[in-house]
C-alpha cells in the first residue's frame, strides 16, 4: 500500500461541483471568506487522504458537507481557545506565565488588530517567553519603552476584542 492518490478525475469533478457550495456555506457559518476557504481546503485534504474509501460512498457530497461541518466546528473551538488565551494574557500582569500557542493561529486571528511591529513584540514576549530585556535589546529600545509598547498594545487589543 503506497502513498499514491487514486484517479484524480473523480476528485477534480467533485471539487468543481462542490467548491462553490461549500465556500458559500462555510462563509455563512464562519462569517469570513478566508476562514471559509481554509475550512474547505482542509475538508478536501481530508477527502483526498481518504479518497480510496470516500469515493466509494454512495453520497460523497454528503460526506464532504458533514466533514466540512466538523472542520468548522474544530476551527471555532480552536479560535475560542485562542481567544480565551489572548484575553487571559490581556488580563494577567505576568505575560510570561502564559502557555505557548501556535504562532500561525495567533497571527491569523489577531495579527490585523494591531500594528505589525508591536504585535510581533507582544508575540515575542507572550508566546516565545522572551524577557522584556531580551525583547527590548532585539528591538534596540529601552526596557521601559518595551514595557510601554506592550502595555499600550494590551489595552488596544483588549478594546478591540471586547467590541461586539
**pLDDT, tens digit, for every residue of 107-147?**
444 444 445 567 777 777 777 778 889 888 988 889 898 88
Domain boundaries, the chain: 8-79, 92-162
Could you give the percent of the chain with pLDDT greater than 90? 21
Each residue's pLDDT tens digit, 7-23: 578 888 899 999 999 99
CB-based contact 136:143 (threshold 8 Å)? yes
More confident residue, 66 or 99: 66
Compute the distance between CA of residue 39 and CA of residue 35 in angstroms, rounded to an integer.
Answer: 6
CATH 1.10.3470 matches 92-162: no
CB-based contact 136:58 (threshold 8 Å)? no
Q: What is the CA radius of gyration of the chain?
A: 21
CB-based contact 80:119 (threshold 8 Å)? no
Distances (CA, A) of 148 to 1, 95, 113, 143, 153: 58, 14, 18, 9, 8
Residue 2 pLDDT class (50, 70, 90 cuts): very low
Give the number of other CB atoms < 10 A from CB of residue 160: 12
Beta strands per DSSP E along the chain: none
pLDDT attached to residue 114: 43
pLDDT attached to residue 92: 56
The crossing angle, in degrees rounded to 10, of helices 8-30 and 60-91 is 40
User: Whole-prediction pTM value?
Assistant: 0.49
Amino acid at each position: 500500500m503506497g502513498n499514491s492518490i487514486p484517479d484524480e478525475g473523480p476528485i477534480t469533478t467533485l471539487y468543481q461541483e462542490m467548491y462553490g457550495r461549500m465556500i458559500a456555506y462555510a462563509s455563512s457559518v464562519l462569517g469570513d471568506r478566508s476562514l471559509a476557504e481554509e475550512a474547505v481546503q482542509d475538508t478536501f485534504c481530508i477527502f483526498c487522504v481518504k479518497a480510496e474509501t470516500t469515493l466509494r460512498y454512495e453520497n460523497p457530497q454528503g460526506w464532504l458537507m458533514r466533514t466540512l461541518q466538523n472542520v468548522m466546528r474544530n476551527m471555532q473551538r480552536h479560535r475560542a481557545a485562542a481567544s480565551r488565551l489572548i484575553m487571559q494574557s490581556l488580563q494577567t500582569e505576568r505575560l510570561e506565565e502564559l502557555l505557548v500557542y501556535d504562532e500561525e493561529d495567533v497571527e491569523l486571528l489577531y495579527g490585523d488588530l494591531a500594528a505589525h511591529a508591536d504585535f510581533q513584540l507582544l508575540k515575542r514576549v507572550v508566546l516565545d517567553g522572551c524577557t522584556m530585556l531580551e525583547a527590548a535589546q532585539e528591538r534596540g529600545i529601552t526596557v521601559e519603552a518595551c514595557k510601554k509598547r506592550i502595555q499600550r498594545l494590551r489595552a488596544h487589543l483588549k478594546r478591540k476584542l471586547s467590541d461586539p
